[in-house]
Amino acid sequence: MMKLKQCALGIELGSTRIKAVLIDENHIPVAQGDFEWENQLVNGVWTYSLDTVHTGIQACFANLKKDVEAKFGVKLTTVGALGVSAMMHGYLPFDKDGKQLAEFRTWRNTMTGPAAAELTELFGFNIPQRWSIAHLWQAVLKGEDHLPRLDYLTTLAGYIHRRLTGERSVGVGEASGIFPIDSAKLDYDQTMIAKLDAKLAAKGYPWKLRDVLPQVKVSGQAAGTLTPEGAAFLDPAGDLLPGIPLAPCEGDAGTGMVATNSVRARTGNVSAGTSDFAMIVTEKPLGVHREIDMVTTPTGLPVAMVHCNNCTSDINAWVGLFADFAGMLGVEVNKGELFTRLFQKALEGDADCGGLLSFNYLSGEGVTDLDEGRPLFLRQPDAKLSLANFMRTHLLSALATLKIGMDLLTEAEQVPIDKLYGHGGYFKTPGVGQRMLSAAVNAPVSVMETAGEGGPYGMALLAAYLLNKAEGESLEDYLDNKVFAGAETVTLMAEPEEVEGFNAFLKRYKNALPIERAAAECT
């Protein structure tokens, strides 16, 4: 018997897929819907059109409704609580009438170098290029003509949340990718706000930062209810009823932490999909490193984040090529099965990939200081070119930049990590991505049975926390005691030769970075 009022719904707009996950009162995923999409490079800007955003989230919800009706024989008319999350960062500006003032500039863009450098110096705090404030300040430096009309600046999650509730708010984890957060006050850092407002005043714009930035909320706080307009937006068929409470919207980093129960100090997770990032909840302030972002958990605790723009996109392209080859031979292949078999084949490869090398840089990469990317595959004349080595090369390449950044955390900053969890599409094939990551970090890596659900599952858990939390119950305790107490977890440790092989691969990778840089400059 489906008890819709006891269910919680999470919807996440990821880089290549919009996905909805419905969980029951036991926090078990019971239905899902999705919609595949891809960003576009338009006039040098990585973007998604808002029309596609609207079409995609509505198609995703429609597919969820079909799944619920097929499995349980009921229409999805309501849930106990819901929440939305999306790719963090980026730039979505609007005027007072809600008109979009500039194209959606996603996290993937590396066009804000001057602004990021200036803000980092002003604040004494690393501001990455993809952060919303870096995009805003770059627009100021360029004198973009839409700025005098700016009324509201938000992220993709914040935009959808406002369409559903009318609220201009985001969760604190999402907010931490907009502007630096004061974890003691659970709000934007006022000292930094004042410093930038002083510089803005000289520009003569009719607004201050707090006028245009969304309000900050913390997990467990009410963040509005689904309005009649919001219900019609999400479900044009008209079955969804208004009045559903919404959790604060979050970014994919925060939902990844929740999905892997990595919200306490000294825990960490690696999310690996279109992009990959490591999130380590820290116990102390860190020095300023260009390669390390300081964000927060959905409860506001400080988190050291190593974010890489590129992870599985190049792998996806090669798997598509293999599927085309099979089709040419008249063989129909299931894409999911093909991914599984190719990932498994990588386990047969040489630990160091037999002298093969690849760069998965579809776009620029901040950790290695590249503003543009060119996917490359290289090999020495005497390298062992085999399918197993080829696939292992791409799987290790997907983690190489992440490893460069994580070494700063574990070596330069001596950040302790008690638990490291993996989640996202990279870990969907059991034991493969997990073993590769273990070889990269030289530590055990755990994957939960829900690892493939990733962010939308984490967002559903945040909605469930809003719905079910006891008085004074923290998110950390709720996850430990009510969600993950009996969770099935598989932990793997790479063999010593695999660790040595990854290190050998990474040495070649670092030595060959000038080739990648030259490719971007010459083509």
Helices (H), 370-431: 387-407
Angle between helices 313-328 and 387-407 (to 10 degrees): 170
Mean pLDDT, range 352-356, rounded to an integer? 97
Domains and CATH numbers, the chain: 90-154+179-212 (3.30.420.40), 259-311+405-491 (3.30.420.40), 313-398+496-522 (no CATH)
Stretch 144-173: mean pLDDT? 98
DSSP H or E run through 138: helix 132-142
Do residues 234 and 58 lie in contact, with contact meaning Cβ atoms separated by under 8 Å? yes
Q: What average pLDDT does range 179-190 have in this prediction?
A: 96
280-284, 334-338, 415-419, 435-439: segment of lowest average pLDDT: 415-419
For the chain, the average pLDDT equals: 94
Q: Average pLDDT in the 281-307 region? A: 88
> How large is the C-alpha radius of gyration of the chain?
22
| pLDDT > 90 in the chain, percent | 80
pLDDT at residue 476 greater than cutoff 90: yes
Whether the per-residue pLDDT at 342 is higher than 70: the answer is yes
pLDDT tier for residue 52 given thresholds of 50, 70 and 90: very high
Q: Which amino acid is at 6?
A: Q
What would the two tokens of residue 189 be? 């850092």
Each residue's pLDDT tens digit, 191-245? 999 999 999 999 999 999 999 999 999 999 999 999 999 999 999 999 999 999 9
Tell me how far apart the alpha carbons of residues 344 and 387 are, in angstroms, rounded to a whole number. Answer: 11
DSSP at 64: H
Looking only at the bridges linking them, the beta strands covering 92-94 and 152-154 are: antiparallel
pLDDT at 457 exceeding the cut of 60: yes
Instruction: Indicate the pairing of strand 489-492 with strand 445-448.
Output: antiparallel
**Contact in structure between 218 and 248 (CB atoms under 8 Å):** yes
Rounded to an integer, what distance in angstroms lies between the CA atom of residue 427 and that of residue 499?
A: 18
In this predicted structure, which of 138-142, 176-180, 200-204, 304-308 has the lowest mean pLDDT? 304-308
State the Cα–Cα distance between residues 472 and 485, nearest whole angstrom.
Answer: 19
271 strand-pairing partners: 277, 423
- Indicate whether 1 pLDDT > 70: no
What's the token pair of residue 244?
A: 């559903």
Span 149-175, mean pLDDT? Answer: 98
CB 125 within 8 A of CB 288: yes
Task: Report, as an integer, the average pLDDT of 252-261.
Answer: 90
Pairing of strands 8-13, 81-86: parallel
CB 462 within 8 A of CB 250: yes
Distances (CA, A) of 503 to 269, 353, 439, 443: 21, 11, 8, 13
Predicted local confidence at residue 132, as pLDDT: 98
Pick from 63-67, 190-194, 377-381, 412-416: least confident: 412-416
Rounded to whole angstroms, the Cα distance separating 306 from 402 reads 7
Report the alpha-carbon distance of residue 136 to residue 112 in Å, rounded. 9
Across the range 434-453, mean pLDDT stands at 84
Give the mean model confidence (pLDDT) for residues 55-73.
Answer: 97
